[in-house]
């Protein structure tokens, strides 16, 4: 069997080495043990493992979804084998500190490696992504004892992790969670409540599950200011860290989803008496950090997770694109407009201009999205390791402003790429004999979880851009202007693209000022999602200009493809923002004035 | 159980009676037996039957898809019961001539009634739609004997019908079909070949299946000019019309689709020797009409079928919209921007402006698409029954030009409506516990079958607009200008919308002239799909202006909702065409100049 199409190593190399120059990070102390060779080895290994252990059961993850048998969640055998292989290869601890057994890889390289797994089998990778986020949060905010107790097991894959935020009555609105945490004389807490949408919430894929649970300590402040964070293991540990008694965390039911089916998604009951650890009521939980500070800890993790969601959307868009190109090169159908004689041979459909349009659109979305995700990851590395306070401050502001875009833009446009991949395949793409319909279904989740599209829009316009007197917006504008200046200096087509981007940036700047000038939050935010989408297209056009600068005047097919995808984006995509800026500039009130009785 | 949400009778009544004035058709001889009362009775019955017999097994159609057991295709029991109820109620023959037992309903009313079935259970309705199209084609082009033999059984639902066009090596490219039809001394033919994507291709839902098969008679002209049409029944009839010997049509396999799962979709082998009727090789087929004229017959039917595909897409978009509104009214989540106190009660999500944006978008797409589909149906009735040659000619031209739009626009935008319905539901919408994800998957087929989106684009720009020296385009422009003139005369917001539409129409006119001025078909058609999409948005804006004229200054909630949805379309949607017209006007060659090696 040929190597499956998963991701383009050539493109990843281009972005990491020719554009972002990740090798320069090895000059920093944290990454001093690394080199281009170690980075390459990690990427090689990711491709190999994803190909051998993840891709082969991707369809099985979809068709044979987790089910409850005798109270136990059953998953197909290859899932566990893949998780173990991933852990053994050290990917779980790839970017973690050496002190906890990690490899101290730059986040950028680690994230790039993870793309292969996300593309090859997003459902199995889901368990691993959550576990890494869980460990990462504990390393950042847990006590030394908590880190020692839980983190090594998580990074070795012996335990897997979850994030328990939502409740049935509180999805996006975390202020309304009602799960309670009652303090105990021994310093632990007893947790009672129900948590919804818990990915990896129950399974037998590891020895234990470490739930990170948001709950309220009675007597705390109302709303989000009264939320605390707890470690609630499925199985309690004894004093020597060995698996002991079952905690009172009980599976209430599994959710059956449109896609992403292989990742168990559960409703969990905490402390409803299914078990009584130590003979008392409630699930045992351990407070992380300070009381009432849980949401801040969670969002610290969530912001990095959102960049990861965006990259997951890119990965699925990318694998779909590669399949579409392969299909279009091999599928014979129809004739050229220039030779329609019925006895002329049929041509590969890639010869039809509309098929090329659909492939170019996909290419511009997935390569643009990938550039954005890796750029943001590089900012995370910069922020973590720079010794220059100004650089750190700028990186922090850019991360804040770009995160809602890095999460939402690929979730929207790489999903459209998946839709176009189906369309390129025609009727075959609509069948489950080809993988593209699954890629679509899997990817559809990304605009919903970790903050919906609408939530990202409010985060961007309602919070991130106005923070610190608009410092984030200013840094973003300055940074993009820097690229534009280089583009203008480059001349030719690159300068033309730079000029287009400059015009769009001027409009964004003016429109943002106008929106903030209203003094009426409802009016400012009435079309926040339109703003998010316009800003997203502008930012991705910037990513394309950045790539064009690296391409320069090189003419090899890879570079010619980059140049042409950029051309597509500047001619077919960026102009879409004009109508969006017009609408925003008009302070349109259509959504506000729609009476609910009129629907 | 409450009446399921399927479709808005109020909206259908508005479009049929207040706008299109279908009641006026009863003055025509063909419809003289009808009245508003009979139309209402048909719509009432459709809603009742769809509610009782189709909606309840919609999820079952998805989860329990047809499968082959001992060589026989098994379908869930309620499918057959629904088909029988539909036939018994006379819907199969609703618009057919009285001479064959039909009710001679206007197509417009018949199509409106069918919407309930398409929305309630598109998969089960699929068998019926194909059967009606099959009977309709035979009535138009079959001999008197063929009509007498097959049509009554089809219209009574004793036999079901299929259309066999595609072959594994020839999907959209019918010129390349290789199925052969060998003439026999008795005037029949023997058919050999393989047909792909045959909806309703095999099952036990009726006594017999009547396949209409495109095949080539040896010695005929090459390409599409050598295609003939044949009746090929699954079971042959004896001289007295009774079921007799099995014909050589054999199920080779079922396709398993992303959605539309309840409609069996098969690969069929004709004449491969699974049976040998009369002891000889090949499946017995009967030529319809003249040799080598089959494609024209098929397309005559296909054009009406394409309007039906568009209406099917509308139906699925509409039911999704109604579910999204219902969910948004009842789901409590979050607070208003004007009262974010954590102890304020949560509000229904319909109070959030972004949710209202998503609902308004859906409303504008599904109601706009419905108006377009019914308008086209009205043109079909006009064309069939007017005694005025000029009116008939104009109706014919408008049908030609509007059909690719009436097929593709709802397939694109009512699918986006389904996507937004999922988004309004959040995580719940992504589960199979709610119906909206199935609506999406079912609707995804509509941009592929009966001519893909790209094929519709070539049909519009490469054929329909240039036919008869551009007569179709001229009539379309004149007709839209007629509406614009009324809009301008109405003053106020309606006049403002009319002015916007006039500007877009001017651009369409200019861009079309520019595209045709190139003298290079490849250049003219390089961005045909962008043209199709721009023209589609313009046409639907026209449909909204038409509705605004009916609404006038009425203020009841239903009319206020129409006015506001129109406002949404004119402010958020129509302006999208500007960038498209700019691109088309530039005669952009990006898709043409993309070398295939650059992907």
- Average pLDDT for B437-462: 96
pLDDT at A2 over 60: no
- Average pLDDT for A469-485: 97
Q: How many CB pairs under 8 A join A and B?
A: 264
Q: What are phi and psi of B198, to 5 degrees?
A: -85, 105
pLDDT at B283 over 50: yes
Q: How far is A149 from chain B (nearest CA, A)?
A: 33
Helix (H) or strand (E) segment spanning residue A236: strand A235-237
Looking at residue A1, its pLDDT comes to 41
Using an 8 Å CB-CB cutoff, list chain B residues near A597: 557
CA atoms within 13 A on the CB side of A575: 16
Contact A590, B564 (CB under 8 A): yes
Looking at residue B510, its pLDDT comes to 98
* Among the ranges given (A401-410, A564-573, B294-303), the one the predictor scored with the smallest mean pLDDT: B294-303
Q: How far is A436 from chain B (nearest CA, A)?
A: 10
Using an 8 Å CB-CB cutoff, list chain B residues near A450: none
Using an 8 Å CB-CB cutoff, list chain B residues near A519: none
Looking at residue A59, its pLDDT comes to 97
What's the pLDDT band for A172 if we cut at 50, 70, 90? Answer: confident
pLDDT at B575 over 70: yes
What's the pLDDT band for B570 if we cut at 50, 70, 90? Answer: very high
pLDDT at B379 over 70: yes
The candidate with the shortest Cα–Cα distance to A408, out of A471, A475, A459, A364, is: A459
Looking at residue A261, its pLDDT comes to 97
Give Dmax over CA atoms of chain B in angstroms. Answer: 87
Q: Which residue of B has its CA nearest to A564?
A: B594
- Average pLDDT for A252-256: 95
Task: Classify B34 as helix, strand or coil.
Answer: coil
- Which residues touch A251 (CB under 8 Å, ≥6 apart)? A68, A71, A73, A201, A202, A266, A267, A268, A269
CB contact under 8 A, B599 and A325: yes
Q: How far is B538 from chain A (nearest CA, A)?
A: 15
Q: Which two tokens mark A199?
A: 């990915």
pLDDT at B135 over 80: yes
Looking at residue A171, its pLDDT comes to 76
The single residue of B450, B500, B533, B546 carrying the catalytic annotation is B450
- Which residues touch B76 (CB under 8 Å, ≥6 apart)? B57, B60, B61, B64, B262
d(CA B319, CA B119): 6
Positive or negative: CA dihedral A327, A332, A333, A336: positive
Q: How far is B353 from chain A (nearest CA, A)?
A: 6
- The verdict on whether A382 is a catalytic residue reads no
d(CA A29, CA A31): 5
d(CA A302, CA B27): 67
pLDDT tens digits for range B404-445: 999 999 999 999 999 999 999 999 999 999 999 999 999 999
Looking at residue B65, its pLDDT comes to 95
Burial A246-255 (b: 16+ CB within 10 A, else e): ebbbbbbebb
Using an 8 Å CB-CB cutoff, list chain A residues near B459: none
What's the pLDDT band for B91 if we cut at 50, 70, 90? Answer: very high
pLDDT tens digits for range B349-378: 999 999 999 999 999 999 999 999 999 999
Q: Choose from A253, A415, A427, A437 for mutation: most chain B CBs within 10 A.
A: A427
Using an 8 Å CB-CB cutoff, list chain A residues near B434: none
pLDDT at A273 over 90: no
**In this complex, which of A357, A430, A599 lies closest to B444 when CB atoms are compared?**
A430
Q: Which residue of A has its CA nearest to B556?
A: A598
CA A55-B265-B452 angle, 5° bins = 80
One DSSP character per residue, A445-465 reads GGGTTTS-HHHHHHHIIIIIT
pLDDT at A452 over 80: yes
CB contact under 8 A, A360 and B525: no
Predicted interface score ipTM higher than 0.90: yes
CB contact under 8 A, A595 and B560: yes
Looking at residue A111, its pLDDT comes to 98
- Average pLDDT for A567-594: 98
pLDDT, mean over chain B = 96
- Average pLDDT for A536-540: 98
pLDDT tens digits for range B473-527: 999 999 999 999 999 999 999 999 999 999 999 999 999 999 999 999 999 999 9
pLDDT, mean over chain A = 96
Looking at residue B1, its pLDDT comes to 41
Q: How far is A589 from chain B (nearest CA, A)?
A: 10
CB contact under 8 A, A529 and B222: no
Looking at residue B2, its pLDDT comes to 53
d(CA B96, CA B88): 15
Strands (E), B184-222: 189-199, 208-216
* Among the ranges given (A21-25, A62-66, A465-469, A540-544), the one the predictor scored with the smallest mean pLDDT: A465-469
CB contact under 8 A, B590 and A568: yes
What does DSSP assign to residue A332? B
- Average pLDDT for A421-436: 96
Looking at residue B304, its pLDDT comes to 85
- Which residues touch B382 (CB under 8 Å, ≥6 apart)? B391, B392, B395
pLDDT tens digits for range B172-221: 788 899 999 999 999 999 999 999 999 999 999 999 999 999 999 999 99
**Which residue carries 């008795």 as its tokens?**
B186
Looking at residue B338, its pLDDT comes to 79
CB contact under 8 A, A579 and B583: no
**Which residue carries 């999704």 as its tokens?**
B320
What's the pLDDT band for A3 if we cut at 50, 70, 90? Answer: low
What's the pLDDT band for B3 if we cut at 50, 70, 90? Answer: low
d(CA B427, CA B429): 5
CB contact under 8 A, B591 and A343: no
Rounded to 10°, the helix B389-425/B528-551 angle is: 100
């Amino acid at each position: 069997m040929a190597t499956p199409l998963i991701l383009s190593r050539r493109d990843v190399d281009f972005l990491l080495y020719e554009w972002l120059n990740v090798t320069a990070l090895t000059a920093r102390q944290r990454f001093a043990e690394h080199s281009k060779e170690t980075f390459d080895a990690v990427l090689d290994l990711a491709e190999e493992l994803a190909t051998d252990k993840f891709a082969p059961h991707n369809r099985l993850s979809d068709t044979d979804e987790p089910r409850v048998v005798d109270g136990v969640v059953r998953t197909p055998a290859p899932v566990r084998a893949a998780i173990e292989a991933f852990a053994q290869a050290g990917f779980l601890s790839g970017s973690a500190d050496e002190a906890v057994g990690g490899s101290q890889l730059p986040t950028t390289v680690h994230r790039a490696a993870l793309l292969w797994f996300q593309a090859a089998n997003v459902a199995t990778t889901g368990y691993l992504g959550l576990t890494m986020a869980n460990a990462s949060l504990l390393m950042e905010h847990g006590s030394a004892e908590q880190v020692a107790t839980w983190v090594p097991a998580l990074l070795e894959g012996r335990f897997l992790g979850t994030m328990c935020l939502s409740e049935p009555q509180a999805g996006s609105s975390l202020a309304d969670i009602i799960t309670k945490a009652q303090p105990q004389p021994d310093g632990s807490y007893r947790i009672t409540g129900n948590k919804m949408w818990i990915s990896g919430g129950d399974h037998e894929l590891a020895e234990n599950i470490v739930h990170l649970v948001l709950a309220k300590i009675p007597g705390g402040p109302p709303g989000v200011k009264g939320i605390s964070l707890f470690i609630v293991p499925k199985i309690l540990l004894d004093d020597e860290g060995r698996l002991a008694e079952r905690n009172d965390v009980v599976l209430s039911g599994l959710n059956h989803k449109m896609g992403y089916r292989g990742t168990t998604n559960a409703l969990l009951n905490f402390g409803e008496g299914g078990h009584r650890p130590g003979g008392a009521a409630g699930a045992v939980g351990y407070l992380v950090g300070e009381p009432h500070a849980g949401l801040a800890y969670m969002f610290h993790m969530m912001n990095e997770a959102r960049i990861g969601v965006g990259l997951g959307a890119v990965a699925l868009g990318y694998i779909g694109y590669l399949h579409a190109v392969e299909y279009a090169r091999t599928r014979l159908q129809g004739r050229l407009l220039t030779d329609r004689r019925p006895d002329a041979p049929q041509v590969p459909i890639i010869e039809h201009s509309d098929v090329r349009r659909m492939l170019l659109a996909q290419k511009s979305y997935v390569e643009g999205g990938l550039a954005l995700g890796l750029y943001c990851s590089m900012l995370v590395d910069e922020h973590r390791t720079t010794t220059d306070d100004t650089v750190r401050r700028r990186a922090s502001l850019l991360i804040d402003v770009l995160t809602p875009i890095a999460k939402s833009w690929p979730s929207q446009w790489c999903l459209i790429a998946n839709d176009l991949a189906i369309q390129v395949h025609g009727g075959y793409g609509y069948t489950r004999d080809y993988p593209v319909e699954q890629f679509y279904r899997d990817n559809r989740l990304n605009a919903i979880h970790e903050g919906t599209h609408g939530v990202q829009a409010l985060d961007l316009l309602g919070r991130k851009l106005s923070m610190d007197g608009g410092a984030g917006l200013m840094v973003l504008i300055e940074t993009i202007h820097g690229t534009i200046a280089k583009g203008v200096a480059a001349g030719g087509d690159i300068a033309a693209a730079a000029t287009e981007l400059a015009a769009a940036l001027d409009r964004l700047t003016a429109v943002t000022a106008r929106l903030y000038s209203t003094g009426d939050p409802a009016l400012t935010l009435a079309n926040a999602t339109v703003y998010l989408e316009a800003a997203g297209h502008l930012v991705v056009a910037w990513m394309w200009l950045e790539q064009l600068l690296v391409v320069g005047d090189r003419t090899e097919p890879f570079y010619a493809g980059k140049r042409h995808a950029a051309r597509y984006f500047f001619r077919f995509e960026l102009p879409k923002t004009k109508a969006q800026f017009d609408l925003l500039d008009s302070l349109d009130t259509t959504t506000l004035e729609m009476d609910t009785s009129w629907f």
